[in-house]
C-alpha cells in the first residue's frame, strides 16, 4: 500500500482507497477514488450487490496478484470476482481489462483465455527467469516423527547460514510460532558454541538496549540480543513493525518467521531457508504439506534485486519427499479450479443479487468461470469422463441441481418449477458474508426467547470458526480455562475449535489472563469474525418478529464490544477508573448505570463520591454519549387512533462525548457508535420494525408499522446501543398517543 501511494498518489496525483477486513472507506471516498486496493474477500462482498453500487460497474482495470492461487483455499473467491467482473462487463457493455500476475504456469493459455487476454498479452516465463538468479539446494532428513525431525534440522540450518550467507540477510521459514522460538534458541546456542554469540547482530549496545526497552514479547526481546528476530501473527503490531525495520536495515541478520511473512511483507534476503515443508492442520489434526504455491512464494524471497547477483534457497525436507520437490520446484505446474468445493455460497450470493433467477441462469453463470475452462481440458480431475457437448451440459446441470437442492434444504432458497429465489436466511448469508451452513444452523437453533447462554453457543458453533487453530497440547490450556469461566463447555471436546472459540469469548467477558500469546491472537480473530455473525443473528431474530431474542442478541454484541458479562457485571465497570469501593458507594446511592451518572450534575456527583472520585468519574464520562429521544406519531388524521408509524428525533447534547468514536478499549479494532431503534410490544414480545443507525449529533428518522393488526397496549420504542453495556431506553407509544389525544381534545 505504501509503495503504491508513493508511485501513484504523490507522483500521478491519483486518489487511492484501501479495502481490507480492518477498514472499509465511506461511499464518498469510494465514488471519488481512481484506485481501489482490496482483499479478494472484501471485493467479493462489495461486488455481490453491483446492481446498486455504481463504482463497481465503473471499474475499467482489474489487477490480480498471485493469480496462481486459484487452486488454493482462497481460490474460489478469486475465481468468482473475475467471473463476476467479466459478467458485469458483458451486461453493462463497458470493457474491463484484466492483468494477472503469477508464478510460471503449465496451463497459462487456459488462464489467459478465461481472463479474456489475447496471445499478444500473454507472457509466460520459465521458473528460472527472475530478476535475480536463484540457486536452490534441497536436503532430505529421515525421521518418522515431526518434532524430532524439526529439531534435527536446526544444526544444518546454522551450517547453511555459514556456508551460503555468513554476513548477508537470512530468512528462515518454519511452520509455527513455537518453531520460530525453538529454532532461534538453537541458533543462539550454536553461535555461542562457536564463540561468536553475537555474530548476527550489527548494533551498538546503547542502541540495542533502547530497542529492547520497546519490545513487548519476552521471546523476541531475548533473541534480538543475539541479532535474531522472530516474526509471526502472535506478535503485536508494534513488535512486528520493529523487527521488520531492524531486518530491513541490516541491524539483525537472521529473521525466523512463519509462512505468512512470505505473502504479507516484502522483506527479501540473500538466503532463504525453508525448515520443513509440513505444518499442523488443526482441522484434520495431522501434519500436512504446504501447498507448492507457498513453497514457491517463500523461495521467491531469496535474492535482493538491488544488492545480489543471485539468491540462494535451502529447502530442508522429509527424506521421502525429496524427489517430489526436485521435480515440481523446477517445473511449471498446472492450476486447477477449486470452485466446486465452495460453489454453494457463491451461487447463493448470485441468487440474492438477482443474477441467477432460473436454473438456466446458473448454468450460464458457470460458463463464465475458470472451472468451465478446465472441465473441457482436464475432465477426469473434476469427475467427468468425456467432454462431449451433451455430457458437459449434463454435468453442469447436475452440479447446479445438487447445489440448489442443498441450498433449499438449508433454508436459503426457494425452488419452483421455473424459478429460484432467495429466502431471508439466504439474503443474510450473502449480506454478512457468511457460509450457507451458518445461517442454516441459525434457522434451526434461534427461537422466540433464546437465552444469552444459547446465543453464545450458537455464535461459537458457527462454521466460520471451523479452522480456528487448536495446536498441539492446547486442550490442556482449554481445560484450565474451562474451570475459570461461568458457562460449561463439553469436556470431551477440548480440542474442538468451536469449544476453544467459546472459551476465548468467555475469557474475554471475564477479563481472564490468557495462558499464552497465541491465544491473544486467536481471540482477536474470534472477536473480529463475531461482529458479522452476531449482526446476522440479530437480523434473523428481528425478521421473525422475536423481540426478546433480538434484544438478548444485542446484549451479546455489547458484551463483545466491552469485554464484560451483561447479566453478571455492573455496566459501571465500563468506566476505566471504577474500583470495588467506588462501585459499592454508587450502588449504595442507588446509581447502577452509566446513564444515571451522565445526567448527574458535578455538584451532586462530588457530594456523592467526593471531589477526587468525582473528578475521575467526570473524566471517564467524557467517553460516553447521552442520547435524548423525542417522539411524534405519524397519524393520517388527528382524530383517529390508527398509527402508521413514528417520527423519531435523536440528539446528543454536547455535555460529555463530542465524538462518534465508540469507547471500546477491550475490543481490538476502532469502532464507531451505532444504535438499534426497535418498535415492538413488550407485552406480546412481538417486534414490528427495526433500524440500525449511526449519527454524530442529531438524526431524524421514521419507524413504520406493518399493515397487519396490532395493539397499542405494551407497544414501545426501544433504543439499544450496539457497543455500550446496558445502554437502553424505552418509550411507551401508548402513552404518547394518549397524551396527543388529550392535546387534541383540549
Contact 354, 362 (CB under 8 A): no
Residue 447 covered by a domain: no
d(CA 186, CA 188): 5
Alpha-carbon gap, residue 228 to 202, rounded angstroms: 11
Q: Are residues 78 and 220 in the same domain?
A: no
How are strands ordered across the β-sheet holding 628-633?
A: 628-633, 645-651, 698-704
Residue 133: the pLDDT is: 86
CA distances from 268 to 93, 308, 313 (A): 42, 11, 12
Opening angle at CA 172, ends 152 and 170, nearest 5: 120
- Phi, psi for residue 617 in degrees, rounded to 5: -65, -45
Domain count, the chain: 3
Domain range for 324 is 133-328
Tell me, yes or no, whether 315 and 352 share the same domain: no
Asked whether residue 592 is domain-assigned, the answer is no
**Residue 241 CA, distance from chain mean position:** 21
Q: Contact, 678 vs 547, CB < 8 A?
A: yes
pLDDT at 326: 84
The verdict on 178 and 299 lying in the same domain is: yes
579, part of any domain: no
Cβ neighbours, 10 Å, residue 159? 12
Q: Is residue 641 within 8 Å of 737, Cβ to Cβ? A: yes
Q: Which CATH number belongs to the domain containing residue 663 in this structure?
A: 2.60.40.150
What stretches in the chain show pLDDT beneath 70? 1, 21-23, 127, 264, 635-643, 654-658, 707-710, 741-746
> Which pLDDT belongs to residue 592?
93
Q: Of 337, 523, 355, 539, whose CA–CA distance to 434 is shortest? A: 539
Burial of 523 (0-12, 13-18, 19+ CB in 10 A): buried
Residues 383 and 291 in one domain: no
**Ramachandran angles phi, psi of 155, nearest 5°:** -65, -45
Task: Verify that 88 and 140 share a domain, yes or no.
Answer: no
In-domain check, residue 436 = no
**What is the structure's pLDDT at 411?**
98
What's the chain's length in residues? 746
Among 280, 310, 328, the domain boundary falls at 328
What whole-number distance in Å separates Cα of residue 435 and Cα of residue 730?
35
pLDDT of residue 21: 67
Question: Rounded to whole angstroms, how far apart are CA atoms 219 and 224?
Answer: 9
> What does the mean pLDDT of the chain come to?
90
Assign 3-class secondary structure to 248-309: HCCCECEEEEECHHHHHCCCCECEEEEECCEEEECCCCEEEECCHHHHHHHHCCECCCCCCC
With helix as H, strand as E and coil as C, how does 148-202 read?
A: HHHHHCHHHHHHHHHHHCCCCCEEEEECCHHHHHHHHHHHHHHHHHCCCCCCCEC
pTM over 0.75: yes
Tell me how far apart the alpha carbons of residues 395 and 382 are, in angstroms, rounded to a whole number. 10
Question: Kindly report the CA angle at 165 between 162 and 169, in degrees rounded to 5?
Answer: 125
Type and span of the H or E element at 143: none
In b/e form, how buried is each residue of 455-485, taking b as 16+ CB within 10 angstroms?
A: bbbbbbbbbbbbebbbbeebbebbeebbeeb
Do 304 and 366 belong together in one domain? Answer: no
How distant, in Å, are the alpha carbons of 301, 415, 542, 562, 618 from that of 279? 20, 43, 43, 35, 52
Quick: pLDDT tens for 559-595.
999 999 998 999 999 999 999 999 999 999 999 999 9
Is residue 314 located within the same domain as residue 377?
Answer: no
**311/342 same-domain check:** no
Is 233 within 8 Å of 260 (Cβ atoms)?
Answer: yes
Instruction: Judge whether 647 and 632 are in contact, CB under 8 Å.
Output: yes
Same domain flag for 99 and 167: no
- Same domain membership, residue 282 and residue 148: yes
Residues forming a β-bridge with 661:
672
User: Where does a domain end: 306, 328, 350?
Assistant: 328
CA atoms within 13 A on the CB side of 725: 23
Residue 305, in any domain of the structure: yes
Q: How far is CA 344 from CA 32, 190, 424, 705, in A?
A: 34, 53, 16, 35
CATH number at 351 reads 1.10.10.10
Residues 202 and 248 in one domain: yes
Q: CA-to-CA distance for 357 and 351, rounded, in angstroms?
A: 6
C-alpha cell belonging to residue 163 = 556456508
Residue 377 lies in a domain: yes
Helix 424-431 with 343-353: angle, nearest 10 deg: 110
- Note whether 70 and 138 are same-domain residues: no
Cβ–Cβ under 8 Å, residues 298 and 135? no
244: CATH:
3.40.50.300
Residue pair 254/200 in contact (Cβ under 8 Å)? The answer is yes
How does strand 686-693 pair with strand 698-704? unpaired
H or E element at residue 310:
strand 310-318
Last residue of a domain, one of 426, 447, 465: 426
Residue 464 contacts by C-beta under 8 Å, 6 or more apart in sequence?
434, 435, 438, 529, 533
Angle between helices 497-510 and 517-543 (to 10 degrees): 90
pLDDT at 746: 52
The predicted-structure confidence for 248-259, as pLDDT tens digits, reads as follows 999 999 999 998
Closest-CA residue to 42 (of 4, 74, 83): 74
Q: Tell which residue, 354, 335, 327, has the closest CA to residue 69.
A: 335
Could you tell me the sign of the dihedral formed by the alpha carbons of 104, 108, 111, 112, in that order? Answer: positive
Residue 203 lies in a domain: yes
Residue 81 lies in a domain: yes
pLDDT at 220: 96
Amino acid at each position: 500500500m505504501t509503495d503504491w501511494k508513493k508511485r501513484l498518489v504523490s507522483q500521478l496525483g491519483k486518489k487511492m482507497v484501501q479495502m481490507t477486513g480492518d477498514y472499509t472507506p465511506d461511499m464518498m471516498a469510494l465514488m471519488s477514488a481512481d484506485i481501489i486496493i482490496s482483499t479478494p474477500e472484501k471485493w467479493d462482498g462489495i461486488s455481490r450487490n453491483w446492481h446498486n453500487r455504481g463504482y463497481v460497474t465503473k471499474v475499467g482495470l482489474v489487477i490480480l496478484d498471485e493469480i496462481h492461487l486459484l487452486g488454493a483455499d482462497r481460490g474460489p473467491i478469486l475465481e468468482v470476482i473475475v467471473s463476476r467482473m467479466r459478467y458485469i462487463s458483458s451486461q453493462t457493455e463497458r470493457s474491463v481489462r484484466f492483468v494477472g500476475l503469477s508464478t510460471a504456469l503449465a496451463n497459462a493459455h487456459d488462464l489467459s483465455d478465461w481472463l479474456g487476454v489475447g496471445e499478444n498479452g500473454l507472457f509466460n516465463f520459465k521458473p528460472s527467469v527472475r530478476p535475480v538468479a536463484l540457486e536452490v539446494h534441497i536436503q532430505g532428513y529421515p525421521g518418522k516423527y515431526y518434532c524430532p525431525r524439526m529439531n534435527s534440522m536446526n544444526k544444518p540450518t546454522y551450517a547453511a547460514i555459514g556456508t551460503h550467507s555468513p554476513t548477508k540477510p537470512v530468512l528462515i521459514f518454519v511452520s509455527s510460532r513455537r518453531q520460530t522460538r525453538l529454532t532461534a534458541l538453537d541458533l543462539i546456542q550454536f553461535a555461542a558454541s562457536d564463540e561468536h554469540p553475537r555474530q548476527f547482530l550489527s548494533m551498538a549496545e546503547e542502541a540495542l538496549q533502547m530497542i529492547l526497552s520497546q519490545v513487548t514479547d519476552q521471546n523476541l526481546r531475548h533473541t534480538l540480543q543475539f541479532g535474531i528476530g522472530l516474526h509471526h501473527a502472535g506478535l503485536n503490531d508494534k513488535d512486528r513493525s520493529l523487527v521488520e525495520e531492524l531486518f530491513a536495515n541490516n541491524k539483525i541478520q537472521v529473521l525466523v518467521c512463519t509462512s505468512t511473512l512470505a505473502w504479507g511483507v516484502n522483506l527479501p534476503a540473500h538466503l532463504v531457508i525453508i525448515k520443513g515443508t509440513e505444518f499442523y492442520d488443526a482441522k484434520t489434526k495431522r501434519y500436512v504439506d504446504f501447498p507448492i504455491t507457498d513453497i514457491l512464494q517463500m523461495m521467491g524471497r531469496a535474492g535482493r534485486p538491488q544488492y545480489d547477483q543471485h539468491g540462494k534457497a535451502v529447502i530442508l525436507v522429509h527424506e521421502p519427499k525429496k524427489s517430489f520437490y526436485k521435480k515440481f520446484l523446477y517445473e511449471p505446474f498446472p492450476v486447477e479450479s477449486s470452485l466446486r468445493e465452495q460453489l454453494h455460497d457463491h451461487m447463493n450470493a448470485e441468487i440474492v443479487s438477482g443474477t441467477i433467477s432460473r436454473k438456466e441462469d446458473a448454468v450460464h453463470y458457470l460458463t463464465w468461470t475458470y472451472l468451465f475452462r478446465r472441465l473441457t481440458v482436464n475432465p477426469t480431475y473434476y469427475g467427468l469422463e468425456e467432454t462431449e457437448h451433451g455430457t458437459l451440459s449434463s454435468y453442469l446441470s447436475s452440479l447446479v441441481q445438487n447445489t440448489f437442492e442443498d441450498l433449499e434444504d438449508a433454508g436459503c432458497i426457494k425452488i419452483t418449477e421455473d424459478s429460484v429465489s432467495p429466502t431471508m436466511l439466504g439474503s443474510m448469508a450473502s449480506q454478512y458474508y457468511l457460509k450457507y451452513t451458518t445461517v442454516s444452523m441459525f434457522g434451526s437453533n434461534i427461537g422466540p426467547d433464546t437465552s444469552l447462554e444459547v446465543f453464545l453457543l450458537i455464535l461459537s458453533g458457527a462454521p466460520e470458526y471451523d479452522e480456528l487453530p487448536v495446536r498441539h497440547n492446547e486442550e490442556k490450556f482449554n481445560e484450565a480455562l474451562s474451570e475459570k469461566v461461568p458457562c460449561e463447555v463439553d469436556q470431551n471436546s477440548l480440542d474442538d475449535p468451536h469449544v476453544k472459540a467459546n472459551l476465548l469469548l468467555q475469557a474475554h467477558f471475564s477479563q481472564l489472563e490468557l495462558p499464552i500469546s497465541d491465544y491473544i491472537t486467536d481471540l482477536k480473530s474470534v472477536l473480529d469474525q463475531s461482529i458479522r455473525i452476531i449482526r446476522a443473528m440479530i437480523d434473523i431474530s428481528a425478521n421473525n418478529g422475536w423481540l426478546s431474542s433480538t434484544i438478548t442478541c444485542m446484549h451479546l454484541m455489547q458484551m463483545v464490544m466491552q469485554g464484560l458479562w451483561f447479566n453478571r457485571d455492573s455496566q459501571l465497570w465500563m468506566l476505566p477508573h471504577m474500583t470495588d469501593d467506588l462501585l459499592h458507594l454508587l450502588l449504595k446511592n442507588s446509581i447502577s448505570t452509566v446513564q444515571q451518572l451522565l445526567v448527574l450534575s458535578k455538584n451532586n456527583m462530588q457530594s456523592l463520591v467526593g471531589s477526587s472520585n468525582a473528578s475521575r468519574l467526570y473524566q471517564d464520562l467524557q467517553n460516553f454519549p447521552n442520547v435524548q429521544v423525542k417522539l411524534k406519531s405519524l397519524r393520517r388524521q388527528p382524530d383517529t387512533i390508527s398509527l402508521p408509524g413514528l417520527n423519531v428525533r435523536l440528539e446528543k447534547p454536547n455535555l460529555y462525548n463530542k465524538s462518534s468514536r465508540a469507547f471500546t478499549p477491550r475490543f481490538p479494532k476502532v469502532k464507531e457508535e451505532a444504535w438499534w431503534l426497535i418498535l415492538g410490544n413488550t407485552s406480546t414480545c412481538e417486534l414490528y420494525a427495526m433500524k440500525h443507525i449511526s449519527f454524530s449529533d442529531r438524526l431524524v428518522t421514521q419507524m413504520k408499522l406493518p399493515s397487519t393488526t396490532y395493539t397499542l397496549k405494551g407497544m414501545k420504542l426501544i433504543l439499544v446501543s450496539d457497543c455500550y453495556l446496558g445502554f437502553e431506553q424505552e418509550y411507551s407509544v401508548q402513552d404518547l398517543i394518549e397524551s396527543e389525544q388529550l392535546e387534541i381534545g383540549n
